Structure 1
Amino acid sequence: MNAILAELGKRVAERWLSLLVLPGALYLAVAAAGAVVLRHSGWYDLVMLADYLNRVAARRRGIGQVVLISGAMLLGSAGVGLVAQAVSGGVARLWLAAGRGPLGRRLTGWRRKRWQAAHEAYQNALLERYRRQQGWGEGGNRSPLPDSARLLVVRNRICLVEPDRPTWMADRMRAAGERVHRAYDLDLTAAWPRLWLCMPDMARAEIATAQSAFASASRLAGWGLLYLVLAVWWWPSAVIACVTVGAAWQRGRAATAALAELVESAVDLYGRDLAQALGLSCPDEFTPDHGASLTRMLRKGV
């Protein structure tokens, strides 16, 4: 038991160090160098920064002062890390927001118009291909057939279903539930906790990895926003913030896409197991009839 507790404590300490202390120490170093020493006017003056560090290092300090400074740096780094964690929670909620406010509705409307235009172009291409293959229209038309596959990719890049959220990530997670409902008539929100219990450890580990990747991306965005605050005193910090938030956005999109695919795959692979676990007869494939029965059962009349 002691060995287990020791190993658990070691892992918690490593996670605390990697997620809070080290990024926080880097942030404090940038804040001290850029916002305190260099400022806007001397943003590139590394010689001035080196002279300042030499003066600080030349001061005589007792052991007590060193311990206090080290402790303050450790606590400060952890404190900044906790702030970044809190900001990352807001970022994650913003990425997945329903967006019912004025700005959210405007962004949703803009995305919906783009999707509808791409969907119309795709449908027109399908119709033209069908007309040409059936020999309808002008018989002498020798132009290439419309590239419906490319137009489908363009439409699906906006969203797999008609958009109803202001961000791509929010719509991608919503699309997972929409697609499951269309394919199986199953309410994914009601079914997911039970489906999770039916899944093997390997499948749950894959989904947990994708969730962890999304959380990591939102933390990176949180750090980027904190670096943006330093731009008030040292403008290059704004460049750091933009690069960091941009990288976080890309990682968040990739993690969201992976997570949504895994959620849909879980229903495809283990929906039948869920139906059987709840007493439904499902000897062969999982059908919309099974999904509708599960939905009525799991909603419990709600």
Structure 2
Amino acid sequence: MVSLGKKRQRDEDDDGPGPSGNQAPTVGQQTSHIKNKQVRGAKYAKLKHEKNKLKKKERALREKEVARAEELGIEPPPKPVPKTIENTREKDETMVQPDDAEVAADEDQDEFAEHFKRVRPPNVLITTSYKVTGAMYRFISELLEVLPCATYYKRQGYPLKKIVEYAKSRDFTDLMVFNEDRKQINGLLLVHLPDGPTAQFRLSNLVLSNDIKGHARATSHRPELVLNNFDTRLGHRVGRMFASLFHQDPTFRGRRVVTFHNQRDFIFFRHHRYIFEERQKKEKGKKEKVNTVKARLQEIGPRFTLKLQSLQKGTFNSKGGEFEWMHKAGEQDTSRRKFQL
């Protein structure tokens, strides 16, 4: 059960000032000065009820205006844009514009440049922590279907530094190390070879293909790659790290899509295939049905969520490594509308 204080704080966050900064005081702000808890709760409930009634009345009025516009054949009034945490995001000085020449020049010479110039095709080595269960092996087998350019090697007790050196000598471009603790797959260490960087992620909400209802089967075609909302300099760097795991020339015939969707600094991984279906649809003013082609998605799996913990310069070095970025809960989590990626 959520306490009244927490609920009021959440309302203040959700209804707070938007980009214009000229919003009316929220229900929580109107009642926060009342010291008596029972009086404050009753006043809060009353104001909230009145606010909901006003919203319902405004919604009904908008629906009438839209219906009237359709009857007259004119353009309906624009739909109001709801305020979300995403569109009220605090501005970040590291946000990257699409036509930023400085960023383009930096990325033309960074560690991933050879991949995007198609000089060095991806060759990924996948391994795990020391002790793993059957769930890890099932996950790795599905991941090998996602990444046609990947090879799995059993850990066999080797330290990570030796594995990094071995991968370098065998011309691997990337190393992925998945961690398991108490039968839960909970971490990913991603190392770009030969010169880094190294990213550490927390992994959660893993769902394997067999647990996804109506899932599809993966083919051997190279998948398309979609990267969403990696908007800052750090986000660009992480996005380029993910992109370096996949070939730059996908096989479109396979209709496979791999998506890394960043939302509020949580990176959601999804693996789909798209299907084109021909259906009959009845249009307004016509008696006969018209054939239309629609596209839909069928999930293949697996699905999981990543949260960036650190980004280190160079390859893995737990003691003397220099960090480009590290998650610091006390300093970076001060606002719900401030994001790093």
Q: Which range, TM-score by smaller chain?
A: under 0.3
Q: Which has the higher contact order (CA 8 A, sep 6+)?
A: 1
Highest Rg: 1 or 2?
Answer: 1
Structure 1 or 2: more helix by fraction: 1
Structure 1 or 2: more strand by fraction: 2
When the two structures are superposed, what TM-score results if normalisation uses the length of structure 1?
0.22
When the two structures are superposed, what TM-score results if normalisation uses the length of structure 2?
0.20
